[in-house]
Chains A and B, each alone.
Chain A
Amino acid sequence: MLQTYTIPYKETTNQILLISNKGIIVDAQSILFKNYIGKAIQSLHPFFETLINLLTLKNKTYNFECINLEIDNKHYTLDAVLHTNNSKEPSALVIQDLTKQYITYQKAAQKRNVAEIKAQLLDYNNVILQEKEAFKNSFIANFSHEIKMPVNTINGFVSLLENTNLEQSQRYNLNVIKNTNDKLKTMINDIIDISKIETGRFSILPIRYNLLEELDTITTIYSQKCKEKGLILNYNIDPECPKYIIADKYRLAQIVNNLIGNAIKFTPTGSIELSAKCVTKNNNFATLIFCVKDTGIGINKKQIDAIFNGFHQVNNNLTNNGAGLGLAITKKLVHALDGKIDLKSEINKGSEFTVTLDFKIAPNQKEDKVITKTSITTAKNDIKILLAEPLRGNQEKLLKIISKLKNCDVVIVENGDQVIEELYKSTFNLLILNLKLPTMDGIDTTRYIRHSDYKNINKIPIVIISEKPSKEEENYCKERRVNSYIGKPFDKAEVLRKLKYIIQKKQA
């Protein structure tokens, strides 16, 4: 190591040139290059032009380090020292050839600079990417909002037209508009979904729910669709599957819906089978494999990977079947839930999608208590209230107060999971939550609701009931986007005033 540095320094070579005030070489050694006596120094290299103006200055010393020169077709990296004298005597230029030493420095500098430039560009590209991502997100959010409005308006007017007297051809045309608009709506929702997943703005919200009932609901819906197309939907659920699981009910349904919907789309004749098999199970967890098998057109081996990418359709047919985002969303959802998705397919024989997911088994596998639905009046009611209150006494007191509001339907549930289930089933105008709800307390339930992707869920006004009210607790609830806070004992007038205010505000 020491030798590496020592050798080049030993080999350092100097050359001295004497230069007149006018820049003429009056004497010189010829150790590095020819002495060029009688020549103008600036003719050797442009570097020396700088020295000309300095030569007339008396008794000065100038140091020039690390100068790269080419003289007589040879490259030098050298240090130069210029000593000027009085006007009668020539100046001395001492040149020290340090080419070898500077090569060592050059190599180190090259390595350091390349690494630093790379790091700077990487940092900057990350900033640019983040900016682009933020722009994309806000663009998609605004775009989806803007485009959803006219699509919904078209739907509304189509419904109005449907109820008028139309000729057969007019009704046919209207159906075309309706179907096209429905496809557009699905496409917009798919784009929003995929953008949310890709940008990490999508959240997994697990609740306790009845898996078997959910699968049953899905098959009921799709049985009808299959029937319309002349297909048979078979349904096979392993009895080992746990009944109550803790999972994101909406996301799992979205996966199964996408797979069955896709199978129906690409199966002209024959059957579709949905099966769920429990492959491992202990007291807390179960691994389930969901399989959707069809007798459809099948997928070419080469296309198998591609169909999970966005905007891909078998046969590149984008005209009739949406944007081709369904399977891309499904794959991303399965991965977001830490599961895996596989596909086996054969052209003209059919496809088989299998999704493997781990689930937490709900500790309580007993049936939920029957949900109470109370209609305050017999007339068609305008306001739907969901009351989540485990205590019978509180239920009765609140019902008495709510009855003063008139035209209200009240659905009573007793825990947080039931609240979420009810919200997915129907639309409510108001939610009243006891802070100390079982399974998921009032604050956790509120958090779940506010993070939901559905506007009719995440925007619902929430009133919290507290057994031991305090200003701190009220502030805590409001910081978590609770709209109103009511403490016990109930002040009938105050409760009514708060409920009326929220309902009127919502209706306005």
Chain B
Amino acid sequence: MKVSKKIVLLGHFGVGKSSLIRRFVENTFSEDYKVTIGVHIFKKNITIPEQGTDVSLVIWDLEGNDDITNTRLSYLLGTHAFIYVYDVTRPATYESLESEINFLKEKQKNTSITVVGNKEDLVTKAYLKQNSGNFGSLTDLYVSAKTGDKVDLLFSNLAEALIK
């Protein structure tokens, strides 16, 4: 059985959305920051062994925006899951985390949202613990596009949850 699921990545600019996708799809990483305008769409097929299901993940990499309400709503049509990405080293990217998540919940009531803190490699575990008051309660996973840490886990968990 093969199913197709649309995943949309959102968050401020420069948080590493494109890097996470590139790490997942191509297993590559570049230190150079190249701004995304509009949307880039990628596809990767994965197999969920336990269910014996092939999942085609169509991943939408949206242009970073410091105000989620400016997102072009047509991009969200038919979305099965959101991944909201912030940068653990830049407070501006997680200061409005709660309101941004609430906006998404309002717009797409039944769509799951996974909140991800990227650039985990740049900080210590103690730092994450100290700042847990700022983003801890909403964060599902800390990842690093640079090292690849927990990137596959993020997408495979999501795919598994989507086909349940």
**By the criterion CB–CB under 8 Å, are A77 and B41 in contact?**
no
A50 B6 Cβ-Cβ under 8 A: yes
B84 vs chain A, min Cβ distance (A): 18
CA distance A38 to B58 in the complex (A): 23
| Complex partner residue of B58 from A50, A68, A69, CB under 8 angstroms | A50
Contact between chains at B14 and A68 (CB < 8 Å): no
Q: In the complex the two chains form, what is the Cα distance from A109 to B72 in whole Å? A: 17
Given known A49-B4, A120-B90, contact A113–B38 (CB-CB < 8 A): no
A residues 333-371 in Cβ contact with B at 8 Å: none
**Interface assignment of B13: CB less than 8 Å from any CB of chain A:** yes
Q: Judging by beta carbons under 8 Å apart, are A46 and B89 in contact? A: no
In the complex, which residues of chain A have a beta carbon less than 8 angstroms from the beta carbon of B58?
A: 46, 49-50
Query: A465 CA to B4 CA in the complex, in Å?
Result: 88
Q: With a CB–CB cut-off of 8 A, which chain A residues contact B42? A: 46
A102 with B38: in contact, given A54-B77, A65-B74, A113-B13 (CB under 8 Å)?
A: yes
The reply on B34 being an interface residue by CB < 8 A is yes
Q: Are B6's CB and A49's CB within 8 A?
A: yes
Contact A117 B35 (CB under 8 A): no
Chain B residues with Cβ under 8 A from A120's Cβ? 90-93
User: CB within 8 Å of B: which of A58-117?
Assistant: 62-69, 77, 102, 105-106, 109-110, 113-114, 116-117
B117 at the interface (CB under 8 A from A): no
Of B6, B38, B91, the residue contacting A66 (CB under 8 A) is B38
Q: Which residues of B contact A65 (CB under 8 A)?
A: 38, 72, 74
Q: How far is the CA of A63 from the CA of B75 in the complex (A)?
A: 9
Contacts of B67-121 to chain A: CB distance below 8 A = 72, 74-75, 77-78, 89-93
Whether A106 contacts B39 by the Cβ 8 Å rule is no
**Interface footprint category on A:** 20 to 34
Residue A5 at the B interface, CB < 8 A? no
In the complex, A65 Cα to B78 Cα: how many Å? 16
Q: Please state if B38 and A46 are interface contacts (CB–CB under 8 Å).
A: no
Q: Which residue of A has the minimal Cβ distance to B66?
A: A116
Given A46-B43, A67-B39, A106-B35, A121:B90 Cβ within 8 A: yes
Give the chain B neighbours of A117 by CB distance below 8 A.
Answer: 13-14, 33, 90
Of A63, A69, A124, the residue contacting B90 (CB under 8 A) is A124
Interface size on B, residues (CB 8 A): 27
Chain B 14-50 per-residue mask, 1 if CB under 8 angstroms from chain A, else 0 = 1000000000000000000111011111110000000
Asked if B35 and A113 sit within 8 Å, CB to CB, the answer is yes
A470 within 8 A of B: no
Asked if B4 and A124 make an inter-chain contact with CB atoms under 8 angstroms apart, the answer reads no
Residue A143 CB within 8 A of the other chain: no
Minimum CB–CB distance for B52 against chain A, Å: 23
Instruction: Output the residue of B38, B77, B91 with the most chain A CB within 10 A.
Output: B38
Q: Which B residues are in CB contact (< 8 Å) with A77? A: 37-38
Contact between chains at B37 and A113 (CB < 8 Å): no
- Closest A residue to B36 by beta carbon equals A68
Contact residues of A: prevailing secondary structure:
helix
B11 at the interface (CB under 8 A from A): no
Bound complex: CA of A54 vs CA of B34, how far in Å?
32
Residue of A nearest to B57 (CB): A46
Q: Chain A 28-54, CB within 8 Å of chain B: the 1/0 string?
A: 000000000000000001110110011
- Please judge, given known A-B contacts A121-B89, A124-B90, whether A102 and B37 are in contact too, CB under 8 Å: yes
What B residues does A69 contact at CB under 8 A? 41
Cβ contacts under 8 Å, B43 to chain A: 46
Is A47's CB under 8 angstroms from B41's CB? yes
**With A46-B41, A50-B58 known to touch, is A113 a contact of B89 (CB < 8 Å)?**
no
Distance between A490 CB and nearest chain B CB, rounded to angstroms: 58
Task: Please measure, in the bound complex, the distance between the C-alpha atom of A106 and the C-alpha atom of B63, giving whole angstroms.
Answer: 10
Q: CA A65 – CA B74 in complex, angstroms? A: 8
Q: Known contacts A113-B13, A124-B89: does B37 contact A64 (CB below 8 Å)?
A: no
Let me know if B37 and A62 touch, CB within 8 A: no
Given the interface pairs A49-B58, A50-B58, A113-B64, the reply to whether A66 lies near B39 with Cβ below 8 Å is yes
The residue in chain A whose Cβ has the minimal distance to the Cβ of B91 is: A124
Interface string of A118-149 (1 = CB under 8 A from B): 00110010000000000000000000000000
Which residues does chain A contribute within 8 Å of B89, judged by CB atoms? 121, 124
Q: Which residues of chain B have C-beta atoms less than 8 A from A54's C-beta?
A: 77-78
Query: In the complex, which residues of chain B have a beta carbon less than 8 angstroms from the beta carbon of A45?
Result: 41
Which residues of the other chain, A, contact B37 by a CB distance below 8 angstroms? 66, 68, 77, 102, 105-106, 109
Within the complex, what minimum Cβ distance (angstroms) separates A244 from chain B?
A: 54
Instruction: Tell me which residues across on chain B come within 8 A of A49, comparing CB atoms.
Output: 4, 6, 58
Inter-chain contact A53/B41, CB cutoff 8 Å: no
Do residues A110 and B14 form an inter-chain contact, with CB atoms below 8 A?
A: no
**Which residues of A lie under 8 Å from residue B6 when comparing CB positions?**
49-50
B74 touches A63 (CB 8 A): yes
CA distance A359 to B76 in the complex (A): 72
In the bound complex, residues from chain A placing their C-beta under 8 Å from that of B90 are 117, 120-121, 124
Whole-angstrom CA separation of A47 from B62 in the bound complex: 13
How far apart are the CA atoms of A256 and B78 in the complex, in Å?
A: 78
Neighbouring A residues of B74 by C-beta, 8 Å? 62-65
Q: Chain B's nearest CB lies how many Å from the CB of A83?
A: 14
Task: Give A residues with C-beta under 8 Å from B.
Answer: 45-47, 49-50, 53-54, 62-69, 77, 102, 105-106, 109-110, 113-114, 116-117, 120-121, 124
Nearest 6 CB-CB pairings of A with B: A66-B38, A46-B43, A110-B35, A117-B14, A68-B40, A47-B41
Interface residues, chain B, CB within 8 Å of chain A? 4, 6, 13-14, 33-35, 37-43, 58, 63-64, 72, 74-75, 77-78, 89-93
Q: A63-B74, A66-B37, A110-B35 are in contact. List 4 more A-B contacts (CB 8 A).
A: A46-B58, A106-B35, A114-B33, A117-B13
Q: List 27 A-B contacts (CB under 8 A).
A: A45-B41, A46-B41, A47-B41, A49-B4, A49-B6, A50-B78, A53-B78, A54-B77, A54-B78, A65-B72, A65-B74, A66-B37, A66-B39, A66-B63, A68-B37, A68-B40, A77-B38, A102-B37, A102-B38, A109-B63, A113-B13, A113-B35, A117-B90, A120-B90, A120-B92, A121-B89, A121-B90
